[in-house]
Amino acid sequence: MPVLSVRDLSIDYTTRKGPVHAVRDVSFELEQSETLAIIGESGSGKTTLAVGLIRLSPRGTKVTSGEILYTKKGLTTDVRTLDDDDLREYRWAEAAMVFQAALNSFNPVISIWEQFNDTARAHGMKDSRRVRDRADELLDLVHLDAKRVLPAFPHELSGGMKQRVLIALALMLEPQLVILDEPTTALDILTQRSIIDLLKQLRERLGFSMIFISHDLSIAAELADRMITMYAGRVVEEANVDDMFYRPRHPYSVGLLRAVPRVSGALGSVASIPGSPPDLMRLPKGCSYAPRCPYAIDECRAADPPLIPVDTPRHQAACIRWKHVAEVLGSNAEVPVAEKLA
């Protein structure tokens, strides 16, 4: 039984010029203890989707269709139907979110201890001694010295320390699901590494499921079990991490993977994706990636292709040319795309 099952979710932004279809017919499932990475360029809808999963979307956002089914102890509820009280419960106790720009997620005028206490009180933990014990335990878990960190104000902590505190806060109510938006962006290399290692440790120890949104493919390579590529609000490919990195079948996934150089191993044929993402208010007819796609044929411009199984039943791509993509990439070996195309 998956922890989270999203079905045909569509989210619009209402603007003066009309609706922007930021997320279109997104479906996926997340198993217990599984880590899912959602990748794509800015404007691909990945953050809108993540925020939508905990119904924290800003005003002017409308879920136009679909279900977000959350299962705990055999009991399934649709997050879309929760009332305010249940939603508050769901938000931190079941599904916690760690936002991008860790630096701005704190209230700057209260100490870290007060941030813990506020969060606890908002969720009905009134006994501040118990909160203190829990804070100590959590900070220990993220390798921070509680005595030093709790009395500090946010500006006194480094970027990496703040990110650790935010992860600790997210884990306070032992959520089943942790959603992270760009968890290591804006952090230095060594700090980034320590946060990645920390997330791995915590996941192993606490067994939560994780969804993270990132434009950084290397974080996905480190942490993900499964991956989703989003383009223009749609899921265009879904696969396990090795299939996505070594055997992508959607030209957009291929393009993204090829756009990122590596430090180790051969550089291969690195290249950018030509053009820019489409205007979500005026999507092209047919496949929205076709105008940038090197493999597009006339048929691609006729109808938006559905997600279909490729290679294996657990690997899906929304591309009628996926066999051609497979041919272009050649071997199925565990070698990155840029090297296969070199």
Partner 1 sequence: MTALIELDHVSRAFATPAGAITAVDAVSLALGRGEAMCLVGESGCGKTTTGRLLTGLLRPTGGRLLYEGKDVWLTKGADLARFRRAVQLVHQDPYASLNPTRTVFQTLSAPLYRHKKANSSRQALAAVTELLKRVDLTPPENFVTKYPHQLSGGQRQRVAIARALTVDPKVIVADEAVSMVDVSIRISLLNLLLALAKEFGVTIVLITHDLAVARYFARRGRIGVMYLGRMVELADTEALVTDPAHPYSAALIAAIPEADPDITRSKTRVELRSAEIPSLLSLPPGCTFHPRCPLSEAGLCDVKIPELLAIPGAREVACHVAVRERTGARAAVTA
Residues that bind partner 1 (CB under 8 A): 41-42, 158-159, 188-194, 196, 215-222, 241-242, 245, 255-257, 259-265, 267, 270-274, 276, 334, 336
Provide the minimum distance between the beta carbon of 214 and partner 1 in the complex, in angstroms, as a whole number. Answer: 10
Strand 4-15 to 18-30 pairing: antiparallel
Task: Between 135 and 199, name the residue whose CB sits nearer to partner 1.
Answer: 199
Provide the minimum distance between the beta carbon of 341 and partner 1 in the complex, in angstroms, as a whole number. Answer: 13
Secondary structure element (H or E) that encloses residue 76, with its range: strand 75-78
Distances (CA, A) of 267 to 142, 264, 271: 35, 8, 11
Instruction: Report the distance separating Cα 157 and Cα 42, nearest Å.
Output: 29
Provide the minimum distance between the beta carbon of 188 and partner 1 in the complex, in angstroms, as a whole number. Answer: 4
Instruction: Report the distance separating Cα 192 and Cα 197, nearest Å.
Output: 9
3 state SS of 159: helix
Task: Between 148 and 323, name the residue whose CB sits nearer to partner 1.
Answer: 148
Please name which of 251, 259, 224 lies closest in space to residue 310, comparing C-alpha atoms: 251
Instruction: Report the distance separating Cα 179 and Cα 53, nearest Å.
Output: 9
Amino acid at 177: L
Task: Between 1 and 101, name the residue whose CB sits nearer to partner 1.
Answer: 101
Task: Between 79 and 202, name the residue whose CB sits nearer to partner 1.
Answer: 202
Task: Between 90 and 252, name the residue whose CB sits nearer to partner 1.
Answer: 252
Provide the minimum distance between the beta carbon of 111 and partner 1 in the complex, in angstroms, as a whole number. Answer: 21
Task: Between 133 and 188, name the residue whose CB sits nearer to partner 1.
Answer: 188
User: Do the Cβ atoms of 158 and 147 come closer than 8 Å?
Assistant: no
Task: Between 109 and 263, name the residue whose CB sits nearer to partner 1.
Answer: 263
Instruction: Report the distance separating Cα 328 and Cα 305, nearest Å.
Output: 20
DSSP one-letter string for 162-228: HHHHHHHHHTTT--SEEEEESTTTTS-HHHHHHHHHHHHHHHHHH--EEEEEES-HHHHHHH-SEEE
Please name which of 22, 7, 9 lies closest in space to residue 60, comparing C-alpha atoms: 22
Provide the minimum distance between the beta carbon of 183 and partner 1 in the complex, in angstroms, as a whole number. Answer: 12
Task: Between 160 and 175, name the residue whose CB sits nearer to partner 1.
Answer: 160
Provide the minimum distance between the beta carbon of 25 and partner 1 in the complex, in angstroms, as a whole number. Answer: 23
Query: What is the C-alpha radius of gyration for the chain, rounded to an integer number of angstroms?
Result: 21
Provide the minimum distance between the beta carbon of 270 and partner 1 in the complex, in angstroms, as a whole number. Answer: 5
Task: Between 67 and 216, name the residue whose CB sits nearer to partner 1.
Answer: 216
Residues 6+ apart with CB under 8 A from 203: 33, 35, 210
Provide the minimum distance between the beta carbon of 293 and partner 1 in the complex, in angstroms, as a whole number. Answer: 13
Strand 35-39 to 226-231 pairing: parallel
Instruction: Report the distance separating Cα 229 and Cα 88, nearest Å.
Output: 30
Provide the minimum distance between the beta carbon of 221 and partner 1 in the complex, in angstroms, as a whole number. Answer: 5
